[in-house]
Amino acid sequence: MTPRELVLATVRRSLGVTGAEATRRSEVAARLAGHPPGVVPERGQLEPAGRLDLFARMVKAAAGTVERVADMAEIPAAVAAFLRGHNLPLAIRHGGDPLLSSAPWKLAGTLEIRQGASDGADLAAVSHAFAAVAETGTLVLTSGADNPTTLNFLPDVHIVVVDACDVVSDFESAMARLRSRFGAGVMPRAVNMITGPSRSADIEQTLILGAHGPRKLHVIVVGKP
Amino acid sequence: MTDVATHAATSPRFKDNAKSALADADLQNALKFVEVNFIARRREAAERLPEFDALRDSARDIKDHTLAHLDLYLEAYENRVVERGGHVHYAVTGEDARQIILDICRKLGARTVTKGKSMVAEEIGLNDFLAAQGITPIETDLGEYIIQLRHEMPSHIIAPAVHLTKAQIESDFRRVHAHLPAGRNLVEPTSLLTEARAVLREKFLAADVGITGANFLVAETGSSVIITNEGNGDLTQTLPKAHIVLASIEKLVPTLEDLSQLLRVLARSATGQDMSVYTTLSTGPRRPDDPDGPGEYHVVLLDNGRSSMLAGEFRDMLRCIRCGACMNHCPIYHAVGGHAYGWVYPGPMGAVLTPSLIGIDKAGHLPNASTFCGRCEEVCPVRIPLPRMMRSWREREFEQHLSPATVRSGLAFWGFFAKRPWLYGVATALAARLLALAGRTRGRFSWLPLASGWTRHRDFPAPQGGTFQAQWNRQRGRLARPVGQADGPNL
Ligand code: SF4
């Protein structure tokens, strides 16, 4: 027996099954295909404006910051203002994301733009979130050339742009969007769900921001829902 | 039984461990934080979410369903991983898992591996093994990094260095980071963290292989899920050539919706956060147009006795999502900390799990390290009946003749009377009278024959009045008299 066969055989012996039972198989297949929701909290079930407010509140509760802008044209100025406000060099890195690439960065004057994955030398990165969850103030980012995963973790400051229409009530809604974008059962290499900046409480349970990931997380919500 | 060769358990010495823990001033200082912080934070988080208890039921049901169909979910999960270009390796024992990981590292010519926090890696003694084979493992979770510097085991499943004070950590950093200026200021926790961040950044960028655990494995998509606050797990798995996920088989959940249910109870129960900072779903290696991510993705599925646990009365323990709430609420853990338990898993969950994994003959003291106050079960997000299972272990210990002779003969003596209610009543009434008579001047005893275990630490009160049984009978006699129209429940 291979180790695989041995483990599966012991599991089956313990459960008193053979693995061939049609009812068990159909039950599992149905759950995987139907993915029934469980208990979904009331908290996020709000009309669009209330949902955005909840999202902003929860991001702040997780020690992140939030601002809102009317459209993409305002992004460069907002990014530059945030960097200046924190005495950071006017330089960012972002991926090939169409929305970020088409932003009028020139409007921000001397802002230096680098593109692609991070090698750890960047102080600030800008990403475009796939979605955001109001329930907990969580950003959902997907890997790939558009928004490289390294940008989420290596820079000191992470600025995340999210479209107001992509702020959903709860995790279940975010999962449904992933499914409809990538296909049932299919996922991008990495889905990063991010709630606030990196932190550690490993030294005498004192909470300190900026453990291994970004010390600051700034969210820019674009447009109206 | 499972192999624990590289990770010698000191569980058989629990009593001595506990004694030295109680006398350790640094430890006692550090443990105060557990009791104060964790309990309050969890309570506040639970109170903020009206559906919290309903979600706990849901979490329990999801885990039960998954365990009852584990063979099928393992197959479904494996298919998805393979479809996405990943590799799945089954490991029957800890030794098998270590060998599989070593082979992957050797093939890649790996010299250093970074590691995200993984209790399963602790369980199989992975670090010592890799080091002995010439591969340097580097823990990257701050708490794990600190205890690795000290060659210790974690003392808590989510806060591995919770037993240490700032001053102890400072002196470890000065000892190990000897290349840094001796006069630097490390007084504030922030400066310690900044130093660790800088030292570990280099290691992240240089590592050949990254090893993480998994909080969950999702059958629907073939994803492994890690949850951290620091972001260390993500750097561990994103930067090197290969990502190895080491996970035990009970980490499976069916769907993304099921995962959502469990996420809602995990962080709240663990740290009192609504969500931990980073929850990452990883599925397969780097895709053709990905600019980053590991080139290889391996999952090592460890059994190590769990498939057998599915059969018996300890199956419920496999629901555990390792939140740590049971130890955070345990008066024994508060008193002695995690190391006294002598192996990887401390607190009530360890008291149940450790005997299953290393044998009741070695871990027999652990299920006895309980006051049976029941708080662990009250707070467990997947409602594991921990006290009941500790009792089951005690019964087994007794049946297998592992309990000490004094306990056995004492119980046999008591059992003789307990089986004869009339004799029991007479004997206890007599004993109570004698004790009351003997202790009538002081009202307490500082020494009693056969009870030195008690009287060595505190006085034994002299009985005041009749036995409980006698009082109960009197009381019942009064209540049984008809009092007009009774509308209470029939007794
Ligand atoms: S037994 Fe329950 S409370 Fe304890 S760690 Fe496991 S899930 Fe958490």
Q: Write the DSSP string, B279-347.
A: EEEE-SS--TT-SSS-SEEEEEEE-TTHHHHTTSTTGGGGG-----HHHHT-HHHHHHTTGGG-SSS-H
Quick check: A145 and B283 CB within 8 A?
A: no
Burial class (CB within 10 angstroms; exposed 0-12, middle 13-18, buried 19+) of A20:
exposed
- Residue A127 is predicted with a pLDDT of 98
Q: Write the DSSP string, A106-165.
A: GGGTT-EEEES---S--SEEEEE-SEEETTTTEEEEE-SSSS-THHHHSSSEEEEEEEGG
3-state secondary structure of B152: coil
Q: In what order do the strands lie in the sheet with B209-212?
A: B87-91, B296-302, B242-248, B209-212, B112-115, B136-139
3-state secondary structure of A63: coil
Range list for CATH 3.40.50.10420 in chain B:
4-308
Quick check: A32 and B76 CB within 8 A?
A: yes
Within chain B, which residues score under 70 in pLDDT?
A: 1-7, 402-403, 450, 452-454, 479-491
The gap from C-alpha B162 to its chain's centroid, in whole angstroms, comes to 14
Please state the atom number of ligand 1 nearest to the C-alpha of residue B324.
5
- The DSSP 8-state label assigned to residue A29 in this structure reads H
**Full set of structural domains in chain A with CATH:** 1-34 (no CATH), 43-222 (3.40.50.10420)
Q: Ligand 1 centre from A125 Cα, in Å? A: 37
C-alpha pair distances (Å), A40 with each of B54, B256, B273, B301, B487? 10, 13, 18, 31, 42
Tokens of B141: 């979770």
Which residues have C-beta within 8 Å of that of residue A87, sequence separation ≥ 6? Answer: none
Test the A interface: residue of B257, B268, B301, B313 with most A CBs within 10 Å: B257
Q: First CA to last CA across chain B, in angstroms?
A: 49
Distance CA B78, CA B94 (A): 20
C-alpha pair distances (Å), B468 with each of A68, B131, B408, B428, B472? 70, 61, 25, 9, 6
Query: What tens digit of pLDDT does each residue of B197-210 get?
Result: 999 999 999 999 99
Please choose, from the candidates A119, A98, A99, A129, the residue with its C-alpha nearest in 3D space to the C-alpha of residue A191.
A129
Distance CA B195, CA B201 (A): 10
Cβ atoms of B248 and B118 closer than 8 Å: no
Q: First CA to last CA across chain A, in angstroms?
A: 57
Q: Ligand 1 centre from B326 Cα, in Å? A: 5
C-alpha pair distances (Å), B360 with each of A82, B11, B354, B363, B364? 59, 10, 8, 5, 5
The phi and psi torsions of B150 (rounded to 5 degrees) equal -95, 0
Judged by a CB distance cut-off of 8 A, whether residue A183 touches chain B is no
- The DSSP 8-state label assigned to residue B35 in this structure reads I
Cβ atoms of A140 and A117 closer than 8 Å: no
Query: What chain A residue is nearest to B31 in terms of C-alpha separation?
Result: A204
Quick check: B261 and A175 CB within 8 A?
A: no
- Residue B489 is predicted with a pLDDT of 47
Check pocket membership of B158 for ligand 1, CB cut-off 6 A. no
Please choose, from the candidates B310, B363, B307, the residue with its C-alpha nearest in 3D space to the C-alpha of residue B9.
B363
- Residue B453 is predicted with a pLDDT of 67
Query: What tens digit of pLDDT does each residue of B309-355 get?
Result: 999 899 999 999 999 999 999 999 999 999 989 889 999 999 999 99
| Topology, domain B4-308 | Rossmann fold (3.40.50)
- Residue B425 is predicted with a pLDDT of 80
- Taking the model in full, what pTM does it have? 0.90
Within chain A, which residues score under 70 in pLDDT?
A: none
